[in-house]
Structures are given as C-alpha cells and as structure tokens.
Chain A
Amino acid sequence: DVKVTQSSRYLVKRTGEKVFLECVQDMDHENMFWYRQDPGLGLRLIYFSYDVKMKEKGDIPEGYSVSREKKERFSLILESASTNQTSMYLCASSLTGGNTYNEQFFGPGTRLTVL
C-alpha cells in the first residue's frame, strides 16, 4: 500500500515564524502535491511537483514556497506565518501514466494554528 506521511499532526506557531511542513511518500511516485483545506472551501492546491527540483504554483501559492530535493520528500514552507494560514494542510502523491489515471494518495494532514 502507498503510504504518505506528514511530519506533524498538530502544529502551533507564532505570527512571523518560519514553518516547515514535511511530507514523505514511499511508493516512488513522481507527483506530489500540497493542499490546504478550509471549511466550505474543500481542498485548494498550493503547489505541486512533477519531478525532483521541479515545482509549479497551484491556485493559492501566495505566502508559501516548496522544496523537492529528493523524489520521496516534498516540503511546504511558510516563510513568515500569518494567522490567515491557520488551516489543515494535506499532502498527496500520485503516479504518472499507467492505469492509475493520476489517482492521488493522501497523508493524514497537519493541522496548523498560527497565533
């Protein structure tokens, strides 16, 4: 089974802090994604990556950056956390091609609170 893990389930940070959210997948997937989830808004794509050292902006990239130095790891960085970044963050991965049709596998999520 595909396993996607996220470094923290719960995180509390202060405004202005630099925050790192880590995601690791163990199935050699090419694609990795970061979403934020807010009530009534569903999941919104922040950034994604189709390969090592490659990144693309999603729908709401402002205030975030990402890093993918290794295929299995995709990090989300909040350079200067703000209260409006309090949210649930979900990481996902998927395989390119084959018969998977880009089905995404999700981690358990990190609930971030910025005070």
Chain B
Amino acid sequence: AQSVTQPDIHITVSEGASLELRCNYSYGATPYLFWYVQSPGQGLQLLLKYFSGDTLVQGIKGFEAEFKRSQSSFNLRKPSVHWSDAAEYFCAVTPYGQNFVFGPGTRLSVLP
C-alpha cells in the first residue's frame, strides 16, 4: 500500500532562516503530489502541487517544492521564513486520481 512519510515531527527555525521540510512516498509509479498547510485551528490550505513536467514547482506564500523521482521525495522549501509560517505542514499523494494519502505532518515553530 502507498504511504507517505514526513521524517520530522517538529522543526524550529529562526525568522529569516531557510526551511526545508521532507516528504517521501512509497508507490510504484509517480503519483500526484501536494503540500498543504494548516494554521492553528484552521482547515488545510493548498500550498502547491506537482503532476508532471518541471520538477521544481512554485506555490503560494513563497514556498517551492522539488520532485526527485530517484529518491521518491517531494521536499518543501522556503528561502526565508516569516513568523506567520508557523503552522503544521502536510504532504499528500494521490495515485492517479485515487484517494489522498496524507503524511503525519510536520509542525513548524518560528523563533523571533
């Protein structure tokens, strides 16, 4: 069965520092890939998605993610973190239109 792992449960970075959140998936073929963000007490908001083509995708709020087929990874990055980025981040995959499989999430804390 397909699975999604996010190795880091909790990450703390200083405001202005760069950020990388890791996501690995287990599936035979390349699925559709998504990153969602959840601010405290809120639902999930889509940050970006990858279906095909350019392996570096740009999203909202200055985030980007890079798909690496050889590593089955879809890591999320941001060059300079803002205090408002503190939230929980979920990686999700959906193999060709089937139901989503979500990772366990990574909680991001931002130090002033």
Contact = CB atoms under 8 A, between A and B. Distances in A.
Interface of A: 4, 9, 33, 35, 40-45, 48, 58, 90, 92, 96, 101-109
A58 B99 contact: yes
Contact of A103 (B9, B46, B99, B104): B46
B44 interface: yes
A41 B51 contact: no
B42 A41 contact: no
Contacts, number: 54
Interface of B: 4, 9, 32, 34, 36, 41-46, 49, 51, 90, 94, 97, 99-100, 102-105
A109 B42 contact: yes
Contacts of B45: 106
B49 A101 contact: yes
Contacts of B103: 42
B94 A90 contact: no
Nearest to A58: B99
Which of the listed residues B41, B43, B94 has the most CB atoms from chain A within 10 Å of its own CB? B43
A109 B43 contact: yes
B99 A45 contact: yes
A42 B92 CA distance: 10
A103 to B, nearest CB: 6
Contact of B90 (A33, A40, A42, A45): A42
A42 B43 contact: no
B9 A106 contact: no
9 contacts: A35-B102, A40-B9, A42-B103, A42-B104, A44-B102, A102-B97, A103-B49, A104-B100, A105-B46
Contacts of A101: 32, 49, 51, 94, 97
Given A42-B103, A42-B104, A106-B44, 20 more contacts: A4-B43, A35-B102, A41-B104, A43-B44, A43-B100, A43-B102, A48-B99, A58-B99, A96-B97, A101-B49, A101-B97, A102-B32, A102-B97, A103-B49, A106-B36, A107-B43, A108-B41, A108-B42, A109-B42, A109-B43
